Structure 1
Amino acid sequence: MYVERTSRLGGAVVWTDSPSRPGAGRVLPDGCMDLLWNEGRLMVAGPDTRAYVTEGVSGSWAGLRFFPGQAPGFLGVPAHELRDRRVDLAELWSPAVVRRLTARVNAADDPASGLEEVVLERAAEVGRTDPVLRQVVEALEAGRAVAVTADELGLGARQLHRKSLAAFGYGPKTLARVLRLQRALALARDGVPFAETAARTGYSDQAHLARDVRDLAGLSLGELLGGR
């Protein structure tokens, strides 16, 4: 069963997942990166450009999902280096440090709380995320065009692209597409008809929505909503 809660780290989410049945899971692109715990192992999930299928991965999971753009400062690694990847934390940090942190998480009352404590301590050391990154996310989530977003923030197109690669793992157009997918899924899950969902989230028509969902999620919108 999947359960999540708001983290004490602003904008982040703490979650746990104990699959109740075998089979593939599907993690959809959302612009985020996660610090993961799985059966005593610490890993990082990079930003996805397509659905990540978890077939063959078992056991209990816990994670802290960073707000888009937060994780690279915490990890000290540009997001584009982790795009579409799942890596052991020891590949990014000193193995000795990772062993110590893993022991802390394993000794916590629950792994999710242990992860959160580790992240909060590290976040206090590295300081705040560039506030411009949150403004980029907020503008694109609101449906603003990339060019308009760059102009409003006083950034050139190339500057915005460089910032986006380092912070989100891909350019602003891909980020906008991923965020639009998440907006559409939220409406459709609330029962909004597909055609209205497409119109309200900036797709040219329902067929455009269907193509984008299939491309990013690997399933049709109906299959996603049906839990398949």
Structure 2
Amino acid sequence: MYTERACRLLGAVVWTNTPSGAGVGPVLPDGCMDLLWNEGRLLVAGPDTRAYVTAGAPSTWVGVRFYPGTAPGLLGVPAHELRDRRVDLADLWPASEVRRLRGRIGAAADPVTALEDVALERAAGAEPPDPLLRGVVTALDAGRPVATTADELGLGARQLHRRCLTAFGYGPKTLARILRLRRALALARGGVTFADTAVRAGFADQAHLARDVRELAGMPLGELLGRRGG
């Protein structure tokens, strides 16, 4: 079973996933990065460009999902270096620090709150997120073209691309495509027909929606809606 709630860190989400059966649904691209706790391990999930399916036997996962663009400043690594990867936190932070945190979370009565505390403490010592990055997400999620977004934010196309690679792990066109998919899934899950979903989410037509879903989620839209996604 998957549950989530707002994190005490502004814009972040705390979630828990305890599979109830043998199958685990795909984790879909969302422009975010996560700090993960799983069976005594601390990991970081980089930004995905395609659906990710957890390997191995089903087990409980706990995570803090950071608002798009905010995790690199907290973790100390550009997002593009972690694109489509799951890495041990000890590969990014000093091993002694990670061992201490693993012991602390493992001994906690509530690992969910303990992991959230780690994220809060890290954020307290980091530089505040660049407000321009939130503007990029807001504009692209509203369906604005990349060129228009760059102009409105006072950036050249190359500047915007470089900043997006560092913050989100990929360029603005890929980010816009992923955010558009998220909009479409929200509409379709709310009962909107696929044809109307395509129009309202910003696709050229239903065939365009179908192609993007297959490429980003790895399955047809109808099958995806029948499964639990991330």
TM-score bin, normalised by smaller chain: over 0.9
Counterpart position of 1:126: 126
Counterpart position of 2:87: 87
Counterpart position of 2:50: 50
Take 2:25 and 2:194, find their aligned partners in 1: how far apart are those partners? 24
Counterpart position of 2:26: 26
Take 1:21 and 1:139, find their aligned partners in 2: how far apart are those partners? 39
- Residue 77 (1) aligns with residue 86 (2): no
Cα pair distance change 1:170/1:57, threshold 3 Å:
farther
Q: What's the CA shift for 1:57?
A: 4.4
Q: What's the CA shift for 1:22?
A: 1.2
Q: What are the residue-to-residue correspondences of 1:1-228 with 2, within 5 Å?
A: 1-227=1-227
- Normalising by structure 1, we get a TM-score of 0.98
Q: What's the CA shift for 1:106?
A: 1.5
Q: Secondary structure at the match of 2:19?
A: coil
Take 2:30 and 2:177, find their aligned partners in 1: how far apart are those partners? 10
Q: What's the CA shift for 1:53?
A: 1.1
Alpha-carbon contact 2:44-2:87 (below 8 Å) kept = yes
Q: Kindly provide the amino acid, as one letter, of the partner of residue 183 in structure 1.
A: R
Take 2:108 and 2:177, find their aligned partners in 1: how far apart are those partners? 38
- Runs of 4+ aligned structure 1 residues displaced above 6 Å come to none
Alpha-carbon contact 1:25-1:55 (below 8 Å) kept = no
Unpaired segments of 5 or more residues in structure 2?
none
Q: Percent identity?
A: 72
- Normalising by structure 2, we get a TM-score of 0.97
Unpaired segments of 5 or more residues in structure 1?
none
Alpha-carbon contact 1:23-1:55 (below 8 Å) kept = no
Aligned residue pairs total: 228
